[in-house]
Amino acid sequence: MKIIPGPASIELAERIAKNLSLPIVKYSYKYFYDNETYLRVDETVKNETILIIQSTHFPQEKHWLELFILCSTLKDLGASEVISIIPYLSYARADKRKIEGEALSHQILIELLGKSGCDCVITMNVHNPEAFYSSSKGIEKININLFHHIGAELKSEYKNFIVVGPDKGAEEDVRTLAKLLETDYLLFEKERDALTNEVKMKTPDYNFENKDVLLVDDIITSGGTAKLASKLILEKKPRTLQFLCIHALSKDEVYLELKNMGVEKIISTNTIPNKQIKQLDIAPYIAKYIKEKFL
């Protein structure tokens, strides 16, 4: 087995390769003047299993296209198996039609990934695991819940915190994390207008005064959910409030706004690289999974 660090995830891929003591395949890529991608695999991959690590955050279309080109080229050059690790799988929220006529982009991309030669896709905390697993039959699919792994790492620091999920959809993650931290959790109720994207939230009757609170979500994008939940918690005078998520997709000003509101610390994993916030390294967990399943 050899590793290819996709252009979107070079640092993470190098860490995974190091954790597994696996060689990295030499390849070259550049962007032409008109921004088209040039790619060349510089060594033989014949009869090899290749692990590509490529997240698909902004610019999403470019990262997806790089992944398709890599998978297809590797298969064309004789690789026996291509496994794509996509730490953050974008478009996963376009998994169902809320309005008639909407594109099911999530299903389309998984289908295209299989067609491009990828045999197996491994992702982390995909938005809707059910939609992910029931998408294209032509490719093996694996979703890893990173809350199981980071929970153990955070235990000593957060065991006296109350864990809060901003909506019912966060229940499984929040319950998992609270159990690993040996603490309690509670959930807010959230409603989002499909057209305006406006978020409304209801809080349960709970006394936050002098509590240390860990607000937890799978993903932060516009920051609307995290900001509203933080505002509601901070109004109830907790001792401290921190925010934890798996995929940090927001622009830097969103993290700054949260900090200015009084959120003491913002933590995510490094599924999407970001130097502005504290990031937990997922390379050891991915490496462990690969070792157990494939090596």
Give the residue numbers annotated as catalytic, written as ranges.
Answer: 190
What gap in Å lies between CA 63 and CA 52, rounded to an integer? 12
Counting other chains too, the contacts that 61-64 makes at CB distance below 8 Å and 24 or more residues apart are 62/37, 63/6, 63/7, 63/8, 63/90, 64/90, 64/109
Q: With the CA atoms of 68, 72, 73 and 77 taken in that order, what torsion angle do they form, in degrees rounded to the nearest 10?
A: 160
Q: Which is nearer to ligand R5P, 127 or 149 (CB)?
A: 127
Q: Which is nearer to ligand R5P, 44 or 222 (CB)?
A: 222
Binding site for ligand R5P (CB under 6 A): 166, 169-170, 217-226
Closest approach of ligand R5P to the CB of residue 218, in Å? 5
Least CB distance to ligand R5P at residue 200 (A): 12
Sign of torsion over alpha carbons 132, 291, 216, 168: positive
Give the shortest CB-208-to-ligand R5P separation in angstroms. Answer: 20
Crossing angle for the helix pair 60-76 and 105-115, to the nearest 10 degrees = 20
Phi, psi of 244 (to 5 degrees): -130, 135
Among residues 114, 128, 40, the alpha carbon closest in space to that of 84 is found at 114
Identify which of residues 48 and 217 has a Cβ nearer to ligand R5P in the complex.
217
**Dihedral of alpha carbons 85, 87, 88, 94, sign:** positive
Q: What are the counts of helices (DSSP H) followed by strands (DSSP E) for the chain? A: 9, 15
Q: Cβ closer to ligand R5P: 72 or 221? A: 221
Minimum distance, C-beta of residue 52 to ligand R5P, in the bound complex (Å): 26
By the 8 A CB rule, do 218 and 170 touch? yes
Which lies closer to ligand R5P via its Cβ, residue 25 or residue 254? 254
Q: Are 162 and 214 in contact (CB under 8 A)?
A: yes
CB of 172 to ligand R5P, least distance (A): 11
| Cα–Cα distance for residue pair 237/233, rounded to 1 Å | 7
Q: Which is nearer to ligand R5P, 93 or 265 (CB)?
A: 93
Asked if 123 and 87 count as a contact pair (C-beta separation under 8 A), the reply is yes
Q: How far is the CB of 124 from ligand R5P (least distance, A)?
A: 14
Q: Could you tell me the two tokens for 280?
A: 């937990």
